[in-house]
Each structure stands twice: as structure tokens, then as C-alpha cells.
Amino acid sequence: MKSVKELNLFGKKVLVRVDYNLPMDENQNITDDNRILSSLPLIHYLIEERAKIILISHMGRPDGKVEPELSLAPAASHLSKLLSQDVAFVSECIGQNVKDTVEKLQNSDILLLENLRFHREEKANDPVFSKELASLCDVYINDAFSVSHRCHASIVGIPEFVSESGAGFLLEKELESYHDAIDNPKKPLVAIVGGVKVSSKLGALKNMLNYVDKLIIGGAMANTFLRSYGMDMGASRIEEALVDTALGIIKEAGQKGVELYLPVDLVVAEKFDKDTLKKEVSVHDVPAAWMGLDIGPETGRIFAKAIKGAGTIVWNGPMGVFEMERFRSGTQIVANAVANSRGFSVIGGGDTDLAVKLCKVADKMDYISTGGGAFLCLMEGKQLPGVTALA
């Protein structure tokens, strides 16, 4: 995989896959521009190299249909303001109008094309669609780590039809930060895995047992592990089909000398509601019709103690329903512990990214990934198709 810095870009048409899948309000105002900000180092570099810059991205899930509220036009406008430079926009990503606009680009000009997913061919990795996108450029750069686990046309298809391809700064930084944490970590290495489903993180849990010294499991997924010990978890969410699998992971951790931590108490409620009655109970005493929505205070203290002496921390998934402030305490305790640890911390995008922001400790984390799914793919020990395609 070549770095963008290894390529001669002067005067060349450079097609850059970014991720501008941005949260917007009902008036199409961008509510979080972090993904645009993350692309700026590469864009500034391409401007300095006097390249002709063509940006492509997806937005939402329009399923191959044109949905005006998922247009990338607001992203072009916002990027223009951030750069203090005009960013052209074309309301298509293929076709003659796009080709004509690209041919008119001067060195250091920037063009953003319309939402790739307005075409079904993007998700289908259609070779004709890939080839048409590739025909727009001399060089292809992937700087969209967050979607590099997907076999889509703009991720794995385009490099097949372009003579020169490379990785952008964000993609390189994401891979380096993760591999520094896993392949050459300062010990002890502590992995914190939370969220809802064991099934979505089963591969990551099994793979992490080959690397970590301590494995902390929280969130709703911990319920399945507690059930594997025969505990009655009330109305808490459980994946019954994976109870035996969870017990197998517990046993494997013991065999490999990995210290595994599970909740000892929970914050439970009668229903999933911000105004519902809640209380703290031992994991042995969950009321029949109540559900666990957060780890309890004693669990928080145990988890924080396990994190305190870490040399490296990898965290993916919250400890509870952190979006509701009443059930954020457990995630807050863990976030504070990670922030105050001397260990190198790598936070795995998505919900965990939002969690550390709501917990007001994002600035104390060493690295926050831009991609949840791609980060999880790395945790599973898998190659990212978007990275393999650049080889």
C-alpha cells in the first residue's frame, strides 16, 4: 500500500474517497463536521501539490434512489467555508456533465460529486460503475477508513481501473494507531468491549483473547455472559443462542490467562424510558420484569481499578444506555478511568466516539477512530477490503 506522499500528484486529476456521511438536522444543517475536519490534512496537502481534486462520498442509505435530503451539497458548502476556497459541486457522480466539469478543473481546484449511493451500483460493487468513476482520474486515494470494511465500488472497485492508487493521511493514521495498540502495545493491554449484541462482536472477543491481558465486558452484551453462569437476568436483553458461546469465551480466557471482568451489579429499570423508575441491584437479584440499562457503581469501581494500571487501552462499545443521562453513569466512570490512565488509549468509533464526547473526556483520549464497523473488523483480526485493494 502506497502512501499519498509517495505519488507524483502535480497537475493530476486525483479522485479521493472521503467519508462525508454527516449527521444533519431537519433543515439540512450539519450537526457534527468531524468527518470533514478529519479530511482537511489530506485536502490541504493536495492543494499544495497542485492536484486537481475530486472528492467522492456516500450519505445515508438512499438504496439507489435520489433523496434530496441526502444530498452532499451542504458538505460542499461547509467545506468551502472551512477552506476559504470555492468547492464546486455537481449533482451527479457519473455522466457527461461530471466529465465536462472535471476537464475544466485547474490545479488546486476542488470538486465534490453527489452521493454515490444514489446509484445501486455503488453498494453492488458494479464494475461498470467503478470503471466510470475511475475514468475521471489519474490517481485514486482512499481516505475513508470508516467504510474501508465494505466491498463497494468506490472502495474496492475503482483501484482495479486506475494505474496509481494510495492511502490518504487519515487511513494511514487509523491503521497505525490500531496496530500500534495491538501489535506492539505497552503492557498490560486492556480491551473494553460493550454495546448491545454479543453476535456483532463475537469475532472481536475471540480474537482479542490472543492479545489482551485484561478483557472488560459491559453493556447489554454482558447479560448473555451472566446468563451463561445460570443467572436470571429478568427482562434484560439476552441472546439465548449465544449463551453457550459466551461460556466458551469465559473458559478460553481462563485457559489463556486473560483476566475477564463482568458486571457484579446493574442499574435496572421497569422499561426503556428516560422517566422510568430505576434502582441498583446485584446481578444475582434482577427483578423478573426489570431490565439492566447500565452497569452498577460497584462494577464501575472494579472496572476503573482494572483500567488504572493499563499500558494500552482499546475501547469499543458503551457500558449502558449512555444516550439517556440517567443511564450514563457506568459509561462515565469507565470514560473517566480511561481518560485518567497513563496508558495509550484507542477509542473505536461510532457509539464509543459519541460516548466520550457526552462524557466530556474526548480531548483526553489519545486516538478516537472515525469508523465503528471498520474498527471492529480490525478487532476481529480481519483485513480491510479497502486497504487490500490498494496493494
CATH of the domain at 208: 3.40.50.1260
Q: Based on the domain organization, do 165 and 290 belong to the same domain?
A: no
- End residue of a domain, out of 113, 137, 170: 170
Residue 87 lies in a domain: yes
Q: Based on the domain organization, do 8 and 114 belong to the same domain?
A: yes
Q: How far is CA 91 from the centre of its chain?
A: 27
Look at residue 273 in the predicted model and tell me its pLDDT: 85
- End residue of a domain, out of 121, 140, 170: 170
Cβ burial 343-374 (10 Å sphere, 16+ → b, else e): bbbbbbbbbbbbbbbbbebbeebbbbbbbbeb
Residue 180 lies in a domain: no
Look at residue 26 in the predicted model and tell me its pLDDT: 85
Burial of residue 231, with CB atoms counted within 10 A of its CB: 0-12 exposed, 13-18 middle, 19 or more buried: middle
Residue 384 lies in a domain: no
Low-confidence ranges of the chain (pLDDT < 50): none
Look at residue 372 in the predicted model and tell me its pLDDT: 86
Q: Based on the domain organization, do 105 and 241 belong to the same domain?
A: no
Q: Based on the domain organization, do 201 and 310 belong to the same domain?
A: yes
Q: Based on the domain organization, do 330 and 225 belong to the same domain?
A: yes
Q: Is the pTM of this model over 0.85?
A: yes
Q: How many CA atoms lie within 13 A of 180 on its CB side?
A: 14
Look at residue 272 in the predicted model and tell me its pLDDT: 87
Q: Based on the domain organization, do 261 and 368 belong to the same domain?
A: yes
Q: How many domains does the chain have?
A: 2
* Catalytic residue positions, numbered: 35, 197, 350, 373
How far apart CA 217 and CA 237 sit, in angstroms, is 15
Residue 29 lies in a domain: yes
Task: Residue 96: give the domain boundaries.
Answer: 4-170
Residues 6+ apart with CB under 8 A from 380: 203, 204, 207
Closest CA to 206 of 248, 243, 257: 248
Report CA torsion sign: 133, 135, 137, 141: positive
Residue 332 lies in a domain: yes
Residue with cell 474526548: 362
Q: Based on the domain organization, do 216 and 327 belong to the same domain?
A: yes
Q: Based on the domain organization, do 125 and 218 belong to the same domain?
A: no
Cβ burial 118-135 (10 Å sphere, 16+ → b, else e): bbebbbebbeebbebbbb
